[in-house]
Amino acid sequence: MTTENTNTKDIRNLSFDDINNFVISNKLKKFRAKQIYSWLWKKKVSSFDEMTDLSNDLRALLKKEFRFDVIKPAFDQKSKDGTIKTAFRLLDNEIVEGVLIPSKERTTACLSSQVGCSLSCKFCATAMLKYKRNLTASEIFDQASYISKLSKEHHDRDLSSYVLMGMGEPLFNYNNVIEFINLLTAPDLGGVSPKRITISTAGVVKKIRQLGDDNIKTNLAISLHTANNEKRSKLMSINRSNPIEDLIKAIVYFHKKTQTRVTFEYLLLNKFNDSIKDAEELAIFCKNFPCKINLIEYNHFDKSNFKQSDKYNAIKFLDFIKSKNIIVNLRRNKGSDISAACGQLANIKS
Ligand code: SF4
């Protein structure tokens, strides 16, 4: 973390309008606001000294008025399948994890949105960590920037996609997540298409509706894992206050507003949600909207009561869903040997 002045505000917590107001109140040339903003979010520098087309006087003024906080990686762990998990140390000494997931033609950054998580999904290792706080937009942005560098270094290509699927529930940190997305997608800054970004939620009904109202054009993934209310309430505490009937209505609303096809994540858990009856319930649920299913192999971790479905049941489940003409993939989880796979982000060693 670079901290140039501990008594002042972090410049990266300022909006463009805030920087513009600073420029006006200091009687600087109008174009300076755009220049400073571009150094921060397009050229992604980590100190005022790197803003080389600003005069020394202006850089000195910025240093006097603002801090410049950038989160740095604490350490990386590399899986035998090429997945790299990075632990980032935050200014308050908390740690969050981000993951680079490579495949043949793509690289994906999986990003955290909170320190810990307030939800208690039974299959998830992050749930064991106490919720501490939301990440700021710049803390999410710094994870993405670092993982993007890893993608270049190890695979010689830019990131293909970004998923907010790491630690935390992104929709409980709505404003900062949307601010991060705006920084990444603004045509004069990151220029990333919203269709390369996925917000993954446990199913916060009110906020799914808000995504529709705000016309957020990213992809939306819902951690569903069962279409049966009783089972889902056992698995995911959020289902007690946001049951499946309400989730369906919110997704219909989101789809109507954004025309975006929603993806459902479905971890196949041995003898819990992997029978043909479970597949039938899922197929009926899917009739409500255009959607896609990702069936995911589960990675067991210590303290988890769940096990991976056996191959035979997984294939039977997949074939049943396919027979209902629903788009479905069966995914192998990556990075399980370094606890970087879906639902495993918690074994932080500092
Ligand atoms: S699955 Fe997501 S929402 Fe659920 S406990 Fe884990 S991090 Fe939180």
**Any residues with CB less than 8 A from the CB of 311 and at least 6 apart, and which?**
none
The CATH number fitting domain 72-338, selected from 3.30.70.1400, 3.20.20.70, 3.40.1110.10, 3.30.1330.20: 3.20.20.70
* Dist. CA 247–CA 255, nearest whole Å: 12
Instruction: Assign domain 9-67 to its CATH architecture.
Output: Orthogonal Bundle (1.10)
> Quick one: DSSP state of residue 27?
T
The one-digit pLDDT tens for each residue of the chain (350 residues) are 444 455 589 999 999 999 999 999 999 999 999 999 999 999 999 999 999 999 999 999 999 999 999 998 999 999 999 999 999 999 999 999 999 999 989 999 999 999 999 998 999 888 888 899 999 999 999 999 999 999 999 999 999 999 999 999 999 999 999 999 999 999 988 899 999 999 999 999 999 999 999 999 999 999 999 999 999 999 999 999 999 999 999 999 999 999 999 999 999 999 999 999 999 999 999 999 999 999 999 987 778 889 999 999 999 999 999 999 999 999 877 777 767 666 667 755 54
Place of tokens 């298409």: 193
124 CB under 6 A from ligand 1?
yes
189 alpha carbon, distance to own chain's centre: 19
Q: Determine the residue of 117, 129, 232 to mutate for testing ligand 1's pocket, defined as the one with the most ligand atoms within 8 A of the Cβ atom.
A: 117
Model pLDDT, residue 6: 58
Model pLDDT, residue 5: 55
216 CB under 6 A from ligand 1?
no
Among the options 110, 121, 291, 342, which is catalytic? Answer: 342
Q: What does the domain layout of the chain look like in residue ranges?
A: 9-67, 72-338
Q: Determine the residue of 97, 121, 130 to mutate for testing ligand 1's pocket, defined as the one with the most ligand atoms within 8 A of the Cβ atom.
A: 121
φ/ψ of residue 225, rounded to 5? 70, -15
Among the options 94, 97, 124, 169, which is catalytic? Answer: 97
Give pTM, 2 decimals. Answer: 0.92
